[in-house]
Structure 1
Amino acid sequence: MQNDKITSEVSPLGTSVGLEGRDCVPFFTSDKSQIKFEFWYLVTLFSVVCSAVILIQLFGSRIGLIHSDKLAFFAVFGGFLGGWVYDAKWFYRVTARGKNNQYGFPWQPHKFYWRILTPFLSGTVAFATFLLGTTDFLPIAIKNKESARAAFAICFLLGYFSDLVLSRLAAWAEKLLPKTSNDKSN
């Protein structure tokens, strides 16, 4: 029988400093039920987003979508699917191989919320970064700013690499924004 408890760090005072095992995800009684849920969650998300992309492509003009709206939808969906692919790759890596390279147990139930929210966060980061790039606010040049295909493709990459995008944006903002007297003491 697999032990679902994760050994958490212990503070110098002898108390636990982290959540253990299923304590942070009370919805599932076992790894197997959580894995099944997350699999169907990923399949459902993919189906819904792909259906929305196809419907917007085929019927967008019939329902009154103007080009800029279509461009925005494709940018959001591209970033979302980039994050979805990242999430699905992680899911596959852990479940299909039955291990990860960091810990001695195959499934990490405590990362449930991270895995559920990754596509949404990636889509948001990608879309916001795309908007900053297309308005020439960022020091990057985006060709074909008015192409829905380009918006989808660029945002797919921005969504897939959203962690890297955020770290680069933070580094850029640190150079751009002046330090205050409180920042110097930190």
Structure 2
Amino acid sequence: MENTNNKPCDVEKVQQEKVPTDGRECKDWKSRYDEIALGHISWEKKYLLVLMIAMASVSIIIGVIILSEFIDNKFIMSSKVHSYFYAWVGGTFGGIVFAGKWLYHTVARGFWNIDRRLWRILTPHLSGLLALFIVVIFSSDIFNEAQTYSIHKSCGIGFLVGYFSDNAIGKLSELANVFFAKNG
């Protein structure tokens, strides 16, 4: 790559400070990606930014509604519902940040590929749902055997069963093959 800046690169300093070069030569700044890939990368970036803005807007709007209900003494939603909502919001934000971080790391290191798009799109939503159900599970006091089954405990157990259903069905198939296998 052509050096367009007259100042030479200090290769020793780069090596000493362990500057991430992503395997590039000094002043090699142009993208490795063609126009089509850059368009896809830009779409993913915009998707994550729009999702982040939408989540922030929803959080602010719900927060204002909650505050106005509290001030007017018309507190309609329970504190558990608020807690579940903000668990979902927090989990979704965590997923957005994680997907965004993954996006810029893969682009910078030259490993971005279109096949991971679905993963980057679904990660924020799955993170939000996972956070919501983890909070439901913990607030259900699921590990207290003395407590009767509440809506929260049923929902939490249902989530765990749903999440691990593929594994559970696989294990049940293994057991069925052992117990019901035809003898020779």
TM range, smaller chain: 0.5 to 0.7
Q: Provide the TM-score with structure 1 as the length reference.
A: 0.53
> Which string of whole-angstrom CA distances, capped at 9 and with x for unpartnered residues, describes residues 67-88 of structure 1?
2322121011011111111111
Aligned-residue Cα RMSD (Å) equals 3.0
1:184 and 1:127 mapped to 2: Cα distance? 38
Q: Provide the TM-score with structure 2 as the length reference.
A: 0.54
1:92 aligns with 2:104: yes
Equivalenced residue count is 118
- Kindly name which structure, 1 or 2, has the bigger radius of gyration based on alpha carbons: 2
1:74 and 1:113 mapped to 2: Cα distance? 25
Aligned to 2:48: 42
Q: Which of 101, 110, 116 pairs up with 1:111?
A: 116
Q: Which of 176, 180, 183 pairs up with 1:182?
A: 176
User: Which consecutive residues of structure 2, in runs of 5 or more, have no partner in the other structure?
Assistant: 1-34, 70-75, 145-159, 180-184
User: Which consecutive residues of structure 1, in runs of 5 or more, have no partner in the other structure?
Assistant: 1-28, 100-105, 140-165
Alignment of 1:117-128 (within 5 A): 117-128=122-133
Given that residues 92 and 128 in structure 2 are in contact (C-alpha distance below 8 angstroms), is that contact kept between their aligned partners in structure 1?
yes
> Which string of whole-angstrom CA distances, capped at 9 and with x for unpartnered residues, describes residues 47-73 of structure 1?
111122222223324364442322121
Distance 1:183 1:83, change over 3 A: farther
- Bigger RCO (CA 8 Å, 6+ sep): 1
1:135 aligns with 2:147: no
Percent of aligned positions that are identical: 26
What one-letter code is carried by the residue in structure 2 that aligns with 1:90?
A: W
1:179 and 1:39 mapped to 2: Cα distance? 42
